Amino acid sequence: MNRESAIAEALLKTGAVKLNVKTPFTFVSGIKSPIYCDNRQMIAWPAERKLFVEAFLEKLKGQDYDILAGTATAGIPWAAFLAWETGKPMSYIRAEKKDHGAGKQVEGADLAGKKVVIIEDLISTGGSSLKTVEAAKEAGAAEVTVLAIFSYEFPKAYKAFAEKGVKWETISNFPALITLAKEKNYLSAEEAEIASEWNKAPDSWGR
């Protein structure tokens, strides 16, 4: 089993992936979905957490970067794990600037003039991740890339990242997950088909 499939199996085995056709989930982007991947659960599973960290480290190997920045809040623990493993400085980036105190959006390491890898938990349309990229650039980052646990592999995300000229990678994705889910009977054939049809046209599904 390759690493992407191993990550997908961990998500399925721990129940981080949920399916509900009758009462679809709603993403931040407004997309209705019969499937939801809650990567935040994974910090509770030590063996699987270690697998995820190793997969992240493999992606980071050979990359030229100065700082690891976690997205608030789901990316923060993963950035912390990776900063510990790599000895790199860490920061975290809020979705919005604070409306009190110093009004900061970025906490921790100073991003000015630095090459930054933003650590995300999940990418759907890419909108939230790209807002974090913009915040890093506003804080002076010289170069920003994104590394996430999982992507639904929507064409909209590829287009959004390409338009902004931002490089991104994930350690697993929807095709790996749905293939494994069918092979290992985590989802019934009918459920897997519903999820696959949704993935082809997420904007119109369930509306």
Q: What is the pTM of this model?
A: 0.93
Contacts of 104 (CB under 8 A, 6+ apart): 94, 97, 98
Closest Cα partner for 8 from 44, 59, 42, 58? 42
Specify the DSSP element, H or E, that contains 92. Answer: strand 90-93
CATH class belonging to 3-200? alpha beta
Give the burial class of 94: count Cβ atoms within 10 A of its Cβ; 0-12 exposed, 13-18 middle, 19 or more buried: middle
Closest Cα partner for 93 from 81, 109, 112? 109
**Model confidence over 143-179: pLDDT tens digits?**
999 999 999 999 999 999 999 999 999 999 999 999 9
Question: Residue 101 pLDDT > 60, yes or no?
Answer: no
**Model confidence over 12-69: pLDDT tens digits?**
999 998 888 788 899 888 899 998 999 999 999 999 999 999 999 999 999 999 999 9
Query: Distance between CA atoms of 104 and 17, rounded to whole angstroms?
Result: 33
Averaged pLDDT for residues 115-135: 96
Specify the DSSP element, H or E, that contains 123. Answer: strand 115-123
